[in-house]
């Protein structure tokens, strides 16, 4: 028995560990009564300052903005405000749980925005499932925000909401379940292909699951340079191919992919999709038997397996490795190679906000992914370490700059700072967010939580 087998956790141990955050989360949320608050960012030397910050002085900046609405990005916090918008129809692995129940997730997103990207984000959960009403809501709140992060909206309407909102609004709109996931997956694949010594453009990639994440991943991979014919998608009904009767114009994004991917014209189930491919990206049903060991064995040598379902990946990493996979990534933090959206959205929004961009494009996502991969490569990568980690905070300013520069290059930035100015600004804002939280904790203004035993009483 080798050392890997000696330390391999049992399924029961993993399930127990996976359940622990869920056990602690309700009492922790109750203890803090939510996760976000609003505090001043301006100096208040005495109550006399309210004459500047409010009436009568505030009338002057109001008049300036009336004359030029873009000045709202200079004279208010709009430049750093992002709305986290959801209808609660596709929350994590919970499904359609409603807007009220979605609030803890959207607050959590706001927390990550602030701590990792220095972005002030506000949870906005809408009491509607109508895609046109969601788009209209985004239009109505646009004057208060510098960006919109769509979150946990069911597929396929999420594609339509993103497309229409991006067309109508003059601020960046993105859907993290689409573009965020695709960005981090691309970063992981860039380094994985380097490690195994294969060219992605000449490799076959299977995408298991055809929801928001993998649909957008397919588009981003194609934009990056992967040949459409080399992508093989599969969903609950089997391999996606041109003419499959259940793929209709109701999901025109998947219909388009059915016409340009799968150059071999493969048919069959997920097992057939994996035969001979170099990499598989699964964003589907939690496992551990959604993808089977015998299917991994049929993949090409030095195969790459991304099993991204949470809390249980589609296949356990050690099973994939025993079946021949050289690189295995999951969505979990307790396994090597975590594919985590938190590496993407805080910094990408930091970048577009810092140039007051009007949109987010797939090219910006690719720029962010390339910088993520580059950062990891520079500090060293191997089969079990392909991506940066959230505690490597220095990656976030670099990623923000890459995204901002691409915004400038594509002509969608309202201002054009230099690379050095962008890096200094992003670093300062992100550092401020982290250090402010630490100071509030040290000063007791954010209380330390009780121990686990007390919480679980």
Residue 383 lies in a domain: yes
Q: Which of 143-147, 214-218, 224-228, 249-253 has the lowest mean pLDDT?
A: 249-253
Instruction: Say whether both 153 and 187 belong to one domain.
Output: no
pLDDT at residue number 16: 75
**Separation between Cα atoms, residue 203 and residue 161, nearest integer Å:** 32
CB–CB of 276/303 below 8 Å?
Answer: no
Look at residues 139, 146, 187 and name the one whose alpha carbon lies nearest to residue 161.
139
Instruction: Say whether both 217 and 113 belong to one domain.
Output: no
**Confidence band for 333, pLDDT divided at 50, 70 and 90:** confident
Instruction: Say whether both 352 and 225 belong to one domain.
Output: yes
Instruction: Say whether both 166 and 202 belong to one domain.
Output: no
pLDDT at residue number 2: 47
Instruction: Say whether both 208 and 126 belong to one domain.
Output: no
Residue 457 lies in a domain: no
Number of domains in the chain: 2
pLDDT at residue number 4: 45
**Catalytically active residues, by annotation:** 54, 109
Average pLDDT, the chain: 94
pLDDT at residue number 7: 61
What does the H/E/C string look like for 364-379?
HHHHHHHHHHHHHHHH
pLDDT at residue number 312: 87
Instruction: Say whether both 226 and 271 belong to one domain.
Output: yes
**Separation between Cα atoms, residue 63 and residue 194, nearest integer Å:** 55
Residue 4 lies in a domain: no
**More confident position, 92 or 275:** 275
Residue 407 lies in a domain: yes
Question: Is residue 6 scored above 70 in pLDDT?
Answer: no
CATH number at residue 298: 3.40.50.720
CATH number at residue 76: 3.40.50.10380
Residue 443 lies in a domain: no
Percent of residues, the chain, with pLDDT higher than 70: 97
> Tell me: the pLDDT tens digits for 401-445?
999 999 999 999 999 999 999 999 999 999 999 999 999 999 999
Domain boundaries, position 156 = 30-171
Residue 144 lies in a domain: yes
Mean pLDDT of the 257-271 span: 97
Residue 5 lies in a domain: no
> Tell me: the pLDDT tens digits for 281-323?
999 998 889 999 999 999 999 999 999 998 889 999 999 999 9
pLDDT at residue number 3: 41
Burial of 197 (0-12, 13-18, 19+ CB in 10 A): exposed
Residue after which a domain boundary falls, among 171, 200, 234: 171
pLDDT at residue number 311: 81
Instruction: Say whether both 290 and 310 belong to one domain.
Output: yes
pLDDT at residue number 8: 67
């Amino acid at each position: 028995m080798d050392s890997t087998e000696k330390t391999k956790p049992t399924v029961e141990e993993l399930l127990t560990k996976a359940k622990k955050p869920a056990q602690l989360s309700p009492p922790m949320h109750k203890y803090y009564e939510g996760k976000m608050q609003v505090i001043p960012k301006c100096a208040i030397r005495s109550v006399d300052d309210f004459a500047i910050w409010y009436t009568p002085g505030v009338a002057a900046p109001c008049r300036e903005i009336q004359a030029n609405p873009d000045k709202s990005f200079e004279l208010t916090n709009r430049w750093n405000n992002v709305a986290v918008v959801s209808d609660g129809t596709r929350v994590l692995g919970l499904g359609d749980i409603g807007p009220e129940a979605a609030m803890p997730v959207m607050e959590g997103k706001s927390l990550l925005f602030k701590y990792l990207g220095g972005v002030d984000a506000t949870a906005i959960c809408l009491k509607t499932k109508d895609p046109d009403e969601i788009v209209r809501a985004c239009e109505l709140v646009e004057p208060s925000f510098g960006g919109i992060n769509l979150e946990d909206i069911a597929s396929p309407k999420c594609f339509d909401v993103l497309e229409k909102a991006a067309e109508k609004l003059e601020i960046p709109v993105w859907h993290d379940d689409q573009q965020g996931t695709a960005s981090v997956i691309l970063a992981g694949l860039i380094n994985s292909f380097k490690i195994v010594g294969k060219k992605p453009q000449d490799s076959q990639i299977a995408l298991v699951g055809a929801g928001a994440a993998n649909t957008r991943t397919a588009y981003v991979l194609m934009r990056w340079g992967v040949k459409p014919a080399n992508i093989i998608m599969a969903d609950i009904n089997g391999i996606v191919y041109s003419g499959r009767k259940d793929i209709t114009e109701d999901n025109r994004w998947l219909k388009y992919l059915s016409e340009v991917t799968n150059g071999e014209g493969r048919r069959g189930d997920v097992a057939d999709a994996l035969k001979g491919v170099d990499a598989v990206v699964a964003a589907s049903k939690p496992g551990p038997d959604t993808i089977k060991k015998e299917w991994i064995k049929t993949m090409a040598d030095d195969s790459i397996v991304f099993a991204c379902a949470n809390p249980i990946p589609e296949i356990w990493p050690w099973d994939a490795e025993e079946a021949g996979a050289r690189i295995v990534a999951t969505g979990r933090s307790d396994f090597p190679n975590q594919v985590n959206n938190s590496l993407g959205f805080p910094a990408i929004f930091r970048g577009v906000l810092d140039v007051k961009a009007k949109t987010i494009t797939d090219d910006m996502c690719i720029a962010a992914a390339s910088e993520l991969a580059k950062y990891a490569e520079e500090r060293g990568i191997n089969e079990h370490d392909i991506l940066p980690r959230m505690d490597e905070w220095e990656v976030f300013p670099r990623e923000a700059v890459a995204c901002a520069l691409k915004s400038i290059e594509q002509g969608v930035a309202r201002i054009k700072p230099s690379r050095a100015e962008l890096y200094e600004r992003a670093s300062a804002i992100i550092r401020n967010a982290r250090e402010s939280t630490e100071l509030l904790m040290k000063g007791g203004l954010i209380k330390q939580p009780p121990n686990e035993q007390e919480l679980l009483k």
